[in-house]
Amino acid sequence: MKVQTKSKKVNKAWLNEHVNDPWVKLAQKEGYRARAAYKLREIDEALGLVKPGMVVVDLGCAPGAWSQYLRRRMARGRAATGALNGAIIGLDLLPMAPIEGVQYIQGDFREGAVLAQLEELLKGDRADLVVSDMAPNLSGVASVDSARVEELVALAIAFCQQHLKPAGSLVAKVFHGSGYNELVQLFRTNFTTVKPLKPRASRDRSSETFLVGTGLKPVDRS
């Protein structure tokens, strides 16, 4: 298949920016699989979300940078290997190379069989923290993309209603634009405290931001 010249230029420009990105270079130096690790680190440093001994679920975990950060943050001596104080469970549709101490499930958490695997790993407990870096494949059509993002965030919140402790927190990636205010309201409906954060590790031109909800509200089933 031939690639058009414009696409080649765009790909070359992106690759050049990526290779020279200071966060990419830092990730390579510190052994993270992606620059995304520093987004979670900034959020954690701002709000103090991650603590040793926690049970954490990482939704959309592949390629594993967030799970790597969680693993180091929760380990004795903040090490990439060795004893882990707590539990980390990662879920994704995509495969992920193993991370020592991280329990990984490949599949769709909306499916009963996948949820059953998760519940088995939780051993009757609930998570202290759920983090979600899930993002849809964007089409470029604002209304379609907004609906896809909202669906993923709604799924993460529904997951929390079943598997997060009442005092726990959810970190979820969202995008500014059409539907953003509705997502903030959805968080406020489900959490007592809601904070938006735009980490420095996010590219300036990116519309991504992160919503952090803490203190799960009970579901009104009336």
Beta bridge partners of 57: 89, 130
Quick one: 113 exposed, middle or buried, by C-beta within 10 A (0-12, 13-18, 19+)? Answer: exposed
Check residue 94 and report its DSSP letter. S
- Cα 208 off chain centre by: 12
Any idea which residues carry the catalytic annotation? 173
Q: Find all residues with CB under 8 Å of 96, minimum gap 6, and list them.
A: 61, 62, 63, 64, 67, 90, 104, 106
Check residue 75 and report its DSSP letter. B
Strand runs labelled E in the chain: 55-59, 87-92, 102-106, 127-132, 164-175, 191-197, 208-216
Cα–Cα distance for residue pair 142/32, rounded to 1 Å: 32
